Amino acid sequence: MVADRAGALIADERELLQCLQCGGPWDRLANVVVRLWLRQSACEAVAVFGLQRGDAVAGVLCHGAEGGELQTGQVSAQAGISGFVSQRLFRELVETAGFSSPGIQCYLWPDLLCGLVVDPGKQFQQSLAHVADLQALTRQLLARVSGRAVLLPDPSQMEAMAEFAAGAGHEINNPLATIIGQSQLQLRGAAGIDLRQSLETIGAQAWRIRDMIGNAMLFARPPELRVQAFRLRGLLEECLGTIRQAAPAGVLLRCDCPVDPELTADRAQMGGLICHLLRNSCEAMRGSGRTGNVSLSCRTVADCLELQVRDDGPGLGSAEVLTHAFDPFFSGRSAGRGLGFGLCLAWQIVRQHGGAICLEDVAGQGLCCHVSIPLCRAVV
């Protein structure tokens, strides 16, 4: 969409196309977004917000002025990750930033930790198809933001890799089943010790590949949620007990969870999410040879559950690892962090529950993973 409803070309059409193709820093893309909405929807004012670091939120506000000129300004606020998961908290964030009107409309993209608010006014173009087009274009732009301190998975890239994993997993499984079957068949008649050891090694490695393919298929085609009500504390104790058994020597698991809220979610998948994050942190400590803590903390914020998993490992380190942290086929073991499938599976679980996930890396001081999940996942 590059023309407004009056038929005139958008003044910054070239910048819009450049941003869609190449991305850019937050300020540039946020300015493009607000100008796009103001010109295309004829609303009175619009603001876009994004989490930048910790609880620091940056925003850009745009409104019309006499003569058709657009006026933009920078705004800032404080809100955690849940501010982009909960409509209630996002509205509080918007009001704190000074954007308040009885008829405002909010749009949230939890996986991008961004949100947009519109003051429609009298001339707002409220066609559902028109607004849906604007939302889709806005999402494309915000997904191209670069240079934020919080590390997010790229949804379009993750979805493309999921499609690849599904196809590749199906193609690999068939010949792999033949290898496993033939190795077991030959093992029954093998007499020599060396031959038996070779066949056992082939079979064991083939099963290992099959496990990896299983993880890839879980990422590509996650099972449907089986939503139920349950208490958090019991689940945390199960997860911590499981991970403690395999934790490396010198690594202490700590838990700070003073609350025991009731969740309506998929209990098995939530357990998988917590185990993936704890296991990833333990592997970071093991790979770097460090001793220290892996800490799990939780709290409720309005209608959301916030989880944090922090470790004393080396952090993500290089720019390459930062870029690929959520990739399912990338391992950062050279930086002391074996990422494997843990983070991408965690992303998939969080996405299915309508939540948000991000990483904060502090060079030399470890990594912190932030997760926010709605306390009540609607049953579809």
Count CB atoms within 10 A of the CB of residue 370.
21
Q: List 266's β-bridge partners, or say none.
A: 227
Token pair in block for residue 189: 């008649």
Residue-wise pLDDT tens digits, 15-47: 888 888 888 899 999 999 998 898 888 888 999
Q: Which CATH architecture has domain 13-146?
A: 2-Layer Sandwich (3.30)
5 pLDDT tier (thresholds 50, 70, 90) = very low
Task: For residue range 43-86, list pLDDT tens digits in order.
Answer: 889 999 999 888 889 999 988 766 567 788 888 888 889 999 99
- Assigned superfamily of 227-374: Histidine kinase-like ATPase, C-terminal domain (3.30.565.10)
Predicted model pTM: 0.81
Say if residues 114 and 50 touch (Cβ distance below 8 Å).
yes
Taking only the tens place, the pLDDT of each residue in 350-365 is 999 999 999 887 766 7
49 — alpha (psi -120 to 50), left (phi > 0) or beta? beta
User: Which of the pair, 203 or 156, is modelled with greater confidence?
Assistant: 203
Alpha carbons 344 and 143: distance in angstroms, whole number: 17
Of 54-63, 106-115, 295-304, which range is least confident?
54-63
Percent of the chain with pLDDT over 70: 88
* Residue bearing the bigger pLDDT, 4 or 241: 241
pLDDT score for 23: 87
- CA atoms within 13 Å, Cβ hemisphere of 8: 7
Cβ atoms 79, 59 nearer than 8 A: no
For residue 338, the model assigns a pLDDT of 43
pLDDT range class, residue 191, cuts 50, 70, 90? low
What pLDDT does residue 183 have?
86
Q: How confident is the model at residue 12 (pLDDT cuts 50, 70, 90)?
A: low
Beta strands in the chain (DSSP E): 24-25, 45-53, 56-64, 70-78, 105-109, 114-119, 145-146, 227-231, 251-256, 262-266, 292-301, 304-311, 356-361, 367-374
What local confidence, expressed as pLDDT, does residue 296 receive? 96
**Per-residue confidence at 337, pLDDT binned at 50, 70, 90?**
very low
Please tell me the predicted confidence (pLDDT) of residue 141.
92
Mean pLDDT of the residues in the chain: 83
What's the confidence (pLDDT) of residue 6? 43
pLDDT in tens, 241-290: 999 988 888 889 999 999 999 999 999 999 999 999 999 888 888 777 77
Average pLDDT, stretch 96-111?
Answer: 87
Specify which of 15-29, 81-95, 188-202, 325-339 reaches the highest per-range mean pLDDT: 81-95
Tell me what pLDDT residue 85 has: 94
Closest of 38, 106, 47, 109 to residue 76, by C-alpha: 47
- Reading the block at residue 282, the tokens are 């333990």
- Taking 80 as the threshold, does the pLDDT of residue 316 lie above it? no
| pLDDT value for 339 | 43
Amino acid at 53: R
- Each residue's pLDDT tens digit, 111-151: 999 999 999 877 776 677 888 899 999 999 999 898 888 88
pLDDT value for 369:
92
* Most confidently predicted of 219-223, 266-270, 320-324: 266-270
Supply angle C-alpha 36, 38, 42, rounded to 5.
Answer: 125
